[in-house]
Structure 1
Amino acid sequence: MTPEHDPNPDPSSHRSGSVAVVGRPNVGKSTLVNALVGAKVSIVSSRPQTTRHRLLGIATVDGGQILLVDTPGLHREQGKFKASAMSRVMNRAARSAVDDVDAALLVVEAGRWDEEDSHAYRVLHDAGIPVLLVVNKVDRIKDKSTLLPFLAQVCDGREFAAVHPLSALKRKGLEALVADILARLPHAPPAYEEDEITDRSQRFLAGELVREQLMRQLGDELPYAATVEIERFAVDSTQKQGPLLRIGAVIWVEREGQKPIVIGKGGARLRDIGSKARQQMERLFGCKVFLETWVRVREGWSDDESALKAFGYE
């Protein structure tokens, strides 16, 4: 996917810097970050606004290190998002991502450009940083002859440092993007060790993996009404087969009537959510995981900024 990296980079030729990954909801920003990093650091689902936090993905490649700032989908505060404290928090996280970065990737969906994309472009253009246009999901375009006219339309009257049609899901077109990003980063030593993939803790990632299963299984029923808090995260070193992570996760919903939706008949849905999240954790953390989950209610948490802060939303 990306070139092999040199474990002993020459500081005079090595490049390192931060790149904001910005775009409207559901264009594949997190999938792109995961593909570039080479590991799952951002959760993904088919639901818009799956990403709620700003997160750093660390891509160490030949000749450089790219610090990818994954962001929530940038949207105008209107319609169904207008009165939501969650929406305001996510927009602030997305907007603040362009502060002190060396470049930005504007991620759009191949064949689609709307006012939300224009809004994201204006935010990046006003920041005065190089903007690389990433046209994602080209694998979904059956008639490839429509792609060039679409690119011409998008670029008309807009300034992009480079344009990269690609498929993050299929990992196609990433090498050229990596080379173009590196060319725009300053000469600097790596900011992180080569085996580091994110600045977030395992505790945070565990909560996100549980929430990913919530979004995937209950996105139609509870798209924005649930969040996850990790109450317990401990390493048990007494096991003969190796370290065991003991994790306790609380799924918070906004109303009593939402609890049985999460729990499911006889607890089946909650068990399935926990089982799939645990499997993802074991892949990511490289050890066995014992996961317990509970469902609790906090009325109106998603529109309460103090509750959002308590749950770790920036």
Structure 2
Amino acid sequence: ELLASALECAPRGSRDQWVLTVSVGTQSISPLLWAIDSGTWAAAESMIEDLLTIRADRLKYYYGLDSLFLRHPDIVEILAFRATTLLPTLLNGMVWRSHLVHGGLRRANYYIKHLLVTDKGTFPEAMENLVELHDPKITVHPFLLRLVDVIWTGVVRSKFVFRSTWLLFNLILFVLSHGMLNHRHEQEHLYSRIAMFSCRAVIYFLGMTNLIYGRVRHAYQAIRDNDLVVVFDRIPIPKRYFDNWREPASLLLVLSLIVSFFIEPIFFCLQHSEGNFEGAGIFTDNCPEAQGICEVYSALPCL
């Protein structure tokens, strides 16, 4: 009640600053953050509700959401790990619903900007923090459902479909080139050898190079952002290799493809393609000179 009566004295255009900034000498203190850290969550809830209440006069509308994220860009993380019970209050305040009903529906505005992109143009960590809570009640909040829908339809879906299709395409090429076409009786035909060579060429020059580019880009980003973990007191490794099992698996796949490329039996048989052996001809990998390498090469796909 004392907080509410104090805020009633604040002008519409300054209410957000009263809640977010108090200057004491050279120090700037956030009353909202102080209330959260001190455990006075009722006061913090009142501050959040006051900040996220839309007010207006004859000149403009006043809404403290931008000021809140400007002062505390990590407000979602703060609430997720220090005051989870205040998250619904924050999410409810980021939704405006009209009091008018048309055809059984009400218009609603979802202010998702601050959870969609940061000032630096990067994706914020708010969603990761919410996922780490493992709270189904928070997960099914209408605001988060709308946010996830926008992210999925606007950014993720097209990339997911493309990458999944590309992965399936590479898998089909791999099965064809290392399985169905890699038999001695199949290599008696020129078209089979050409098809096998073409499939492997696509895997090496498109699939492998794309994977190498991804690993180099991730390593560069980790070094740039100093997102590294030092192993054995001297070896820096990107932190994402410990957070996501797909990263070391992708690195292992890249190394396997690089080794396969350098010991490719077809390359060894280019100068020995003609001879008295089964499957002789251009693009064969059955020449006697490549028999020792074929044993190692056939073991690499198992990785």
Q: Give the TM-score category using the shorter length.
A: under 0.3
Which structure shows the bigger proportion of residues in strand conformation? 1
TM-score w.r.t. the length of structure 2 is: 0.22
Which protein has greater RCO, CA pairs closer than 8 Å, 6+ apart?
1
TM-score w.r.t. the length of structure 1 is: 0.21
**Larger Rg belongs to:** 2
